[in-house]
């Protein structure tokens, strides 16, 4: 998924992201619970009914902060 952020909804954490359909180029908003054990999920496009496999692996951690250099 291109963008994701955990957010509380009804007491559950979920991962949100946008995926572009490979068949018709429609942009899909995908929501997957963070508690799921799966690393791949199937998403069906509402426009063309194409089925996509989407990776929901954790995003890489942010880079460490750069040390300040003396002037």
- The pLDDT value given to residue 47: 94
- The pLDDT value given to residue 68: 73
**Per-residue pLDDT tens for 39-67?**
788 999 999 999 999 887 766 666 777 77
Residues in contact with 69: Cβ distance below 8 Å, sequence separation at least 6, in sequence order: none
Q: Write down the pTM of the prediction.
A: 0.58
Cβ atoms of 1 and 56 within 8 Å: the answer is: yes
- The pLDDT value given to residue 11: 47
Q: In the chain, what are the domain boundaries?
A: 6-55
**Per-residue pLDDT tens for 14-28?**
888 899 999 999 999
Cβ atoms of 39 and 32 within 8 Å: the answer is: no
Of residues 57 and 30, the one with the higher pLDDT is 30
């Amino acid at each position: 998924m291109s963008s994701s952020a955990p957010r509380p909804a009804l007491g559950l954490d979920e991962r949100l992201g946008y995926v572009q359909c490979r068949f018709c180029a429609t942009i899909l908003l995908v929501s997957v619970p963070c508690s799921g054990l799966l690393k791949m999920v199937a998403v069906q496009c509402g426009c063309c009914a194409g089925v996509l496999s989407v990776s929901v692996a954790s995003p890489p951690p942010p880079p460490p902060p750069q040390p300040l250099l003396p002037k």
